[in-house]
Chains A and B, each alone.
Chain A
């Protein structure tokens, strides 16, 4: 099965908050990342959290980490149409002795005006 799982779609109204969830399996994960991908573009690093943190806030973005449940979430406050994109959760772990980023399949966020 997948090491990192995300729901595939999320639809919200402009101005509402969006919450994108992610679960991972590797308990040795050191950093966890959120990347944004707009159509036809590369990945833009949004934010990251170190595994010894519970929460990180950066302007409209709030990342919550529940290490016990291996659950990561990204909250986008006051969602705008420009936030429409695919959001990827990724973990960086050293369990196999090699630091690789393992990505989820991405959550497509659609913002309804």
Chain B
């Protein structure tokens, strides 16, 4: 059984470019969560999605950030016009049922904005 998969594992972007982060949940899981981890910090919740629906985006910055989880394919976290402060590790988690069902995490995408 493959776990949660994220790609790319590392992403380097220049200021103003777009970053697209992909997450494939565990097989059979239809609930996806995105978290951001700044250096020396814990994880901060960003958004919770179920297939084709955004359930809770209360942790997502209002501008430049968007997330989707289409019927087919991985969940995508998109950051437009990246700035240096977006440099962080972005983790995706999935669960079989909705919260508070246990969430299983992917290896993360480490984004570096130059």
Contacts and interface: CB of A to CB of B under 8 A. Distances in A.
**A complexed with B:** yes
Interface of A: 4, 30-31, 33, 35, 41-45, 48, 88, 90, 92, 94, 96, 98-106
**Chain A: interface secondary structure?**
strand
Interface of B: 4, 6, 33, 35, 40-45, 48, 55-56, 58-59, 91, 93, 98-100, 102-108
A35 to B, nearest CB: 7
Given A30-B100, A45-B104, A98 B48 contact: yes
A99 B100 contact: yes
Residue of B42, B99, B102 ringed by the most chain A CB atoms within 10 A: B42
Contacts, number: 64
Contacts of B107: 41-42
